Structure 1
Amino acid sequence: MDFFSPAQIAGYAAFVFGIAAFLQTTDRPLKLLNGTQCIAYAIHFFLLGNIPAMATATVSAARSFLALRTSSPLLAVAVVAILLAIGSQVVTHWTGWLPVAASACGTLAMFLMRGIPMRLVMLACCLMWLVNNVLSGSIGGTLLEASIAIAMVSTIVRMVRARRAAAAA
């Protein structure tokens, strides 16, 4: 396996943006960096030939950028419908549904949730992407999702502690 192939380099870029995103304790920078990470991820999966992951990462990038401007439940439903329609066209094996499900749940979290609950759902999505990446043979993606999971758990713990400290004050 070539650690410095164009596919892996795109995966490393996604890694950097993803870690930066999920270390954020405010939602706006998280969504902006997550959208950027999804663009790098789409390129990464295109180069790896994983079309379901590439397609859902592309839609997820648009979703993250749209979530900066609106929290419309109707738009969330539309994005989920687009993800399911794309999935029905490009998924050829059950594993192809992992990134579709992760992106659909992530969409609902990005549009309809805030703070700690949003990050808990995003953590579940991250674990679905982790399984996809292991099955895809994606080195950078596997490292990315494992690291994001650790970063999100850390951020959630910090947010819970801050909430408790504020309540005690």
Structure 2
Amino acid sequence: MSPFFLSQILAGLALCSDIVSFQLKKRAHILLCFIISCLLLSIHFICLDHWTAAGLALLASIRFLISFFTDKKRYALLCIAAVMAVTIYTWEGALSLLAGAAGITGTIAAFNSNDKRLRQIMFIATSLWIIHNTLAGSPGAVAVEFVFLSSNMVGYFRYYILPGRRTL
């Protein structure tokens, strides 16, 4: 099996984990699905030799693990510093810059206690990952992020746009 084909299988499994997470209610179960998804995506990017994305996906799984226990800003700053270190250490040019920007933006979102603001910031982070994954040549990873973005948009519409329209 070629590394590319294996990478797409792993992206498909990550997509399944994300889809399952959207159906769960308990935060701990949702975070567990996100951890699994990020670990699978890390291996996916290793198969494609995209080391910045691989390192940042692994770091995202650690970030979700930390968020099991705390949402304190000092941990957000620590995660942002780690994103910057991984990005610099694994520098591959523009792809690394996109991945680093997505990682920092996602970290800011993950440690934001306001759900509406979290979703808004995640629109940006997910869009950056879609651009990155397109340029990296991974249709599976594009699909994962597109489904994640779509789900976020549906949730945002349900919780923040639709209720306002009902009162009109």
Per the alignment, residue 81 of structure 2 pairs with: 81
Superposed, which structure 2 residues align to 1:23-42 within 5 Å?
A: 28-42=28-42
Per the alignment, residue 151 of structure 1 pairs with: 151
Normalising by structure 2, we get a TM-score of 0.87
Tell me, in whole angstroms, the C-alpha distance in 2 between the residues paired with 1:121 and 1:24: 22
Alignment root-mean-square deviation, CA? 2.5
- Aligned letter for 1:154? V
Tell me, in whole angstroms, the C-alpha distance in 1 between the residues paired with 2:61 and 2:113: 17
Q: Give the length in aligned residue pairs.
A: 166
Going from structure 1 to structure 2, the CA distance change for 1:106 and 1:145 (only over 3 Å counts) comes to same
Superposed, which structure 2 residues align to 1:1-150 within 5 Å?
A: 5-22=5-22, 28-150=28-150
Secondary structure at 1:112's aligned position in 2? coil
Task: Give 5+ residue unaligned stretches, structure 1.
Answer: none
- Aligned letter for 2:85? A
Structure 1, residues 117-160: CA drift from partner, whole Å, max 9, x if none?
A: 11111121111010111011101101111121111100111122
Q: Is the 8 A contact 1:22 1:155 kept in 2?
A: no
Structure 1, residues 42-74: CA drift from partner, whole Å, max 9, x if none?
A: 011011111010000000010011112101111
- Aligned letter for 1:127? S
Identity %: 22
- Aligned letter for 1:16? C
**RCO higher in 1 or 2 (8 Å CA, sep ≥ 6)?**
1
Going from structure 1 to structure 2, the CA distance change for 1:113 and 1:26 (only over 3 Å counts) comes to farther
Structure 1, residues 22-54: CA drift from partner, whole Å, max 9, x if none?
A: 566775544332222111110110111110100
Structure 1, residues 69-108: CA drift from partner, whole Å, max 9, x if none?
A: 1011111101110110111111121221212211111112
Task: Give 5+ residue unaligned stretches, structure 2.
Answer: none
TM-aligned CA deviation for residue 161 of structure 1? 5.3
Tell me, in whole angstroms, the C-alpha distance in 2 between the residues paired with 1:69 and 1:163: 32
Normalising by structure 1, we get a TM-score of 0.86
